[in-house]
Structure 1
Amino acid sequence: MVNSKTGKAATPPLKVLLVDEEPGRAAILERALLDAGYVLVSRLSSADRLVEHVAVSQPDIVIVDIDSPDRDCLENMAVLSRSNPKPVIMFSDEDNEDTIASAIKAGVSAYVADGMNPDRVRPIVQVAVARFREFQALKNELQKTRDQLADRKLIDKAKGLLMKHRNFNEDEAYHAMRKLAMERNQRLVDTARNVIEVFEMLGGGGL
């Protein structure tokens, strides 16, 4: 779909999964979401089986409107955050600091402690989505750095074994592994892992 004014592809509306145990309150929030241009893909009366419902409906954001989040609710949030992370907004009347901290720890992107105000839905959603995307980008970058460090440790270990048992210097060990990786059409780290495994099988005595 193309925006007639800008000529650019229009951004599809965000899909929302709503959790609210009170039908009347849920209807008000649903109306506010629709008026703000969002699409409601599912409405639940509790957070039970939340992970399953998210997997089926694939929302862009989850909104939970609840009087006070209990342990089961927060556990469902935590499981969702680990298995299929989504921006999560929680509207609640509970303003206890420990509860708010527990909700954030469970993966809630925005905790609104003074309840739901229909006029504030759109800006709250925008902020929550922006925070979530920033957090995910940082999380992915951190994981990438950890993976690179782990790969470097394996490569250095393999080089050390070649230097010790084949009397290679560091450059010779590196180029030997690089040549082997190219011949096997492998990543260098996979070749390093193979080198280490061979030395371990042979007790470090040969290759």
Structure 2
Amino acid sequence: MDVALKILVVEPDAARAQDIIDALKDGGWGNVFIVSDISSLAPKLTEIDPDIVLIDIAHPDRDTLEHIGTISHAKARPVAMFVDRSDADLTQAAITAGLSAYVVDGLQKNRIKPVLETAIARFKMIEQMRRELDAAKQALTDRKTIDRAKGLLMNARNINEEDAYSLLRKTAMDQGRKVIDVAHALVTAADLLG
């Protein structure tokens, strides 16, 4: 648990806000900022740049959830929301908005710390999956570029695929570049000459 986390809490009720601060301090988190009005969330996010956002809202609607997901940058940081009631549509809207935790039955002091820890862990897991997906997409794109470059070399030099790849590798090594960079340059040049 990182005790230096900056936590931004959206809570309109001052007494409940103090309960949240107390619960977070009891959990070892003391770097807490309170926003009492959801309309102030966007500028506070820019000013504070929190590590996590905790929102307590009694009765959200779909528009509110989408708005919160957008302004809180839920895809860039964990966002935990406590609500008093929900239904299947609101739950789906919370997931679509990218919330890391959506807790029904209101905010209870003893649940704040475990919910935030879970939200942080879930966010990190999703971020890892996003990075892996991006890496896989990039690898596929690179593979296609290399295959296209090999095809160009095979046609231009009348060589087989293995020799074409060896030529790409040798050129990359001679130039101190990556194979994908050489392949990309070759494909770009072929497109310009094409």
Query: Does 46-55 or 116-125 show the bigger shift?
Result: 46-55
CA contact (8 A) 2:4 2:29 kept: yes
Of 46, 70, 81 in structure 1, the residue corresponding to residue 74 of structure 2 is 81
Residue-by-residue CA offset, 1:107-166 (whole Å, 9 max, x unaligned) = 111111100000111111121111111111111111111111111111011111111222
Q: Which has the higher helix share?
A: 2
Output the TM-score relative to the length of structure 1: 0.83
Match of 1:4 in 2: none
Please report how far the alpha carbon of residue 18 of structure 1 lies from its aligned counterpart in structure 2 after TM superposition: 0.7
* Equivalent AA in structure 1 for residue 18 of structure 2: A
User: Judging changes above 3 Å, is the alpha-carbon distance between structure 1 residues 36 and 12 closer, same or farther for their aligned structure 2 residues?
Assistant: closer
Say whether residues 1:95 and 2:48 are aligned partners: no
1:133 equivalent among 120, 124, 133: 124
SS in 2 for 1:81: coil
Please show how residues 35-54 of structure 1 align to structure 2 within 5 Å: 35-48=26-39, 50-54=41-45
* Contact kept? 2:5, 2:51, Cα under 8 Å: yes
Mapped to 2, the partners of 1:49 and 1:166 lie a distance apart of: 64
- Give the unaligned 5+ runs of structure 1: 1-9
Taking every aligned residue pair, what percent have the same amino acid on both sides?
37
Q: 1:197 to 1:38 in 2, by over 3 A?
A: same
1:147 maps onto 2:135 in alignment? no
Give 1:168 shift: 1.8
Unmatched 5+ residue regions in structure 2? none
Higher relative contact order (CA 8 A, sep 6+): 2
Task: Note the 1:145-184 alignment, pairs <5 A.
Answer: 145-184=136-175
Confirm or deny: 8 A CA contact 1:48 1:73 kept in the other structure. Answer: no
Quick one: distance in 2 between partners of 1:38 and 1:100?
A: 28
Aligned AA (1:95): S
Amino acid at match of 1:75: H
Following the alignment from structure 1 to structure 2, what is the Cα–Cα distance between the partners of residues 49 and 160?
56
Matched letter for residue 132 of structure 2: E
Q: Compare 189-198 and 54-63 and name the one that shifted more.
A: 54-63
CA drift of 1:11 comes to 4.9
- Give, in angstroms, the shift of residue 17 of structure 1: 0.9
| TM-score, length basis structure 2 | 0.88
The runs of at least 4 aligned residues of structure 1 exceeding 4 Å deviation read none
Aligned mates of 1:173, 1:37 — CA distance in 2: 59
Find the aligned partners of 1:62 and 1:193 in 2 and give their Cα distance: 42
**What is the aligned-residue RMSD (CA, Å)?**
2.1
